Amino acid sequence: MATPTVDAPDPSRRTRKILIPLSAVVLIAAVTAGTAIALQMRGQPDATATPTTPCIGPPGRATPPATATAAPDGNGLDVVESGFTQLGSTSAPITRNAMVSIGAVVANTSTHTAHRALVTFDILDSAGESAVLTTILDQPREIPVILPGERVGVGGQFWIRSEDGQRVKVARVNATVSSATWTATAGTPDATTDAEGTTAGGITTRHLETRRQGTDQIDATVTYEVHSPYCRKWTSVGTSAVFRDEAGTVVGGGFDPAVSPSACLPGRHPGSTLLPSSLPPAAADTRTEVYQHCAPPDDPQQ
């Protein structure tokens, strides 16, 4: 991962000064200020906003390319929890509630930072065949950054296929993680000590409320607060929810691919997501975990 050459100035070359009238300078400044005020009044998020507390830079970029789930120290990524719930009757026609709700938690047990890990759900019937409509299957899910010690959740809701007029019954779901790249970790948050909420790539998401909606009460509206300690804006790639029952067991999850322009800005920001046909009846609404998935800037110096 060549030193640029800069020519010395030619002393024979005269420097020409360009004089701008003072009135023009004042006019330019006024127009610039007016534009900035107008943008603020329209409620557009400030992409260069900075937090009020000291901030940090993003983790370093990963080189060389992918080394799967093994980190340089021999540890890596593991799916430590997963669960699912099939929603709707197995005899139901193709309707909005003929879904399977899935949640999983991936742990980084290494001392290195994982980048762009892929989580895949194999949703199988009793014969080991796929139980979902693969034509509309949206996976694998990508987790942009997982810091050492972090446990990052990922969720999804998938359509169940039919056979002989009936819905296939989901027998099991296998969650696997792969294709991560790795960097040494420095200057990043301590992911193991933030008890305020869940973290993903050092960005904390605190669950506020889960509201059930719809006639069958399996639609979820989840509100939360996101806190990014980084100095620059990251890019949102979606929001995951992991649902647990009263005992703490994972019973499902959901994923919203919608991108909020303010979700990954520096500082604290409110968030809300709608997850249709994803909330299992056994889920304890107060135990919902939310994970805001944010990708760092392309320029590692930002």
pLDDT at position 245 is 98
pLDDT at position 29 is 42
Q: Which position has the higher pLDDT, 99 or 52?
A: 99
* pLDDT at position 264 over 90: yes
pLDDT at position 167 is 87
pLDDT at position 91 is 57
Q: Which position has the higher pLDDT, 275 or 69?
A: 275
pLDDT at position 25 is 36
Mean pLDDT of the chain: 78
For residues 221 and 173, give the distance between their C-alpha atoms in angstroms, rounded to a whole number: 25
* pLDDT at position 200 over 90: yes
- The tens digit of pLDDT for each residue in 71-116 reads 888 899 999 999 999 997 665 555 556 899 999 999 999 999 999 9
DSSP string computed for 196-226: SSEEETTEEEEEEEEEEESTTS-EEEEEEEE
* pLDDT at position 267 over 70: yes
Report, as an integer, the average pLDDT of 53-69. 59
Q: Which residues contact 73 (CB under 8 A, 6 or more apart)?
A: 110, 111, 112
Q: Which position has the higher pLDDT, 181 or 51?
A: 181
* pLDDT at position 202 over 90: yes
- The tens digit of pLDDT for each residue in 162-189 reads 888 788 999 999 999 988 899 887 655 5
For residues 164 and 43, give the distance between their C-alpha atoms in angstroms, rounded to a whole number: 53
pLDDT at position 269 is 94
244 burial class (0-12, 13-18, 19+ CB within 10 angstroms)?
buried
**Confidence class for position 6, pLDDT limits 50, 70, 90:** very low
